[in-house]
Amino acid sequence: MTKGYLILETGEEFEGDWFGAEQEISGEVVFNTSMTGYQEMMTDPSYAGQILTFCYPIIGNYGINEEDDESPKLSVSAIVASDICDDPSHYQATSSFSEELKEANIPGLKNVDTRSLVAAIRKHKTVNGKIVSEQGKKHFSAAWKKHSNMELVNRVSVDVPESYGIGTYHVVLIDFGYKKSILKALLKQDCKVTVVPYHTSIEVIEAMNPHGILLSNGPGDPMELKPYFPAMKALIEKYPTLGICLGHQLIALAYGGKTKKMPFGHRGGNHPVKDLLTGKVRMTSQNHGYVVEEDSIDPRDFQVLFRNVNDRSLEGMKHVSKPIQSVQFHPEAHPGPSDTEYIFNEFIHQVVSAAQEGAPVYVEA
């Protein structure tokens, strides 16, 4: 096997064996604690520009199938793992983990001491890294490529509107890098869904006669989308709106809130979140590196709904008078628990109420 190295900008070096595409690449090094769901993670657009480290020691044992992709292509920049199984066992498997990476021209390192790597990330907080070959290591340059958020969102957003379903209620999904499972959750709720590029104008969206708006998840720093905040606020005040992950952060920012970079983010399927209205704790699926600062939220605009049990960070809110709600976690899960799937039910109830109050119900031509 060809030796490869992950070199962190803080100086640590981790040796492994190349698999997938043997090409050098740099990016933010992040880790996910989930035991399963590696296919959904690799195809989650929120990982664009990042080197994803799997905490679970065995990856690839059930292979890759044709059902579980969250987007049409792999979104991660690279993969770091301990043991990679190249002989998967599952009736739905159509290829192995390594084959999938190679076909997508994405590099990976296996047989890495991922426990030490995760400890280093937790120690240094946010850290960039570069995967290099043995030859590249000899001529290593600490020139770290920084991806702008606009570059990443442009990479994962749709180019033109796409329509799905023939349901009664029409939801426009504003795409910053949406997951397929969000679309499927809306289709299950008797919706027709139009996915539009994030830069679509208010006039174009209004001409679609939506009953509701959903702001999707996506990669990068939400503040880099600042030019779109005024239009975003004007739009979501016209329709029932749900924001998920990046969408949650964008709603907060559009109303004057603030976000900050987290030490090493929330990425996994076991994050406990407390519902402040009921006192119940839900287990959630999460994937984000930024968080809304709770003290920046004006209580005259928003009521806090959810708070993270571990670090008490803001996990969800709703407008005090308008049908606008947002959550930092992923209610559609995939991978992860479906404890908070009811968030979609609440959103659709708002959409239905708005439609019954006078908004035209969508009828398929």
Query: Would you call 245 a catalytic residue per the annotation?
Result: yes
- Structural tokens at position 144: 């770290």
Query: Is the CB of residue 286 less than 8 Å from the CB of residue 292?
Result: no
Which 3 state secondary structure label does DSSP give 349? helix
The DSSP symbol for 330 reads B
Catalytic, 332? Answer yes
| Residue among 211, 245, 248, 334 flagged as catalytic | 245
Phi then psi dihedrals of residue 341, to 5 deg: -60, -25
- Other Cβ atoms less than 10 A from the Cβ of 322: the count is 16
Q: Which of 147, 170, 332, 334 is catalytic?
A: 332
Active site residue 85: no
What are the DSSP E strand ranges found in 167-248?
169-175, 191-197, 212-215, 241-244
Name the catalytic one among 147, 170, 288, 330: 330
Q: What is the dihedral of CA 7, 13, 15, 18, to 10 degrees?
A: 0
Q: Using CA atoms, how far apart are residues 6 and 310, in angstroms rounded to an integer?
A: 30
Paired tokens of 156: 């994962």
- Tell me how crowded residue 24 is: count the other CB atoms within 10 A of its CB: 16
Give me the half-sphere count of Cα atoms (radius 13 Å) on the Cβ side of residue 326.
Answer: 32
Q: Could you tell me the CA-to-CA distances from 172 to 230, 233, 362 in Å, in that order?
A: 18, 15, 12
How far is the C-alpha of 353 from the C-alpha of 308, rounded, in Å?
A: 30
Measured distance CA(230)–CA(59) in Å, rounded: 43
Q: Which residues are catalytic?
A: 245, 330, 332
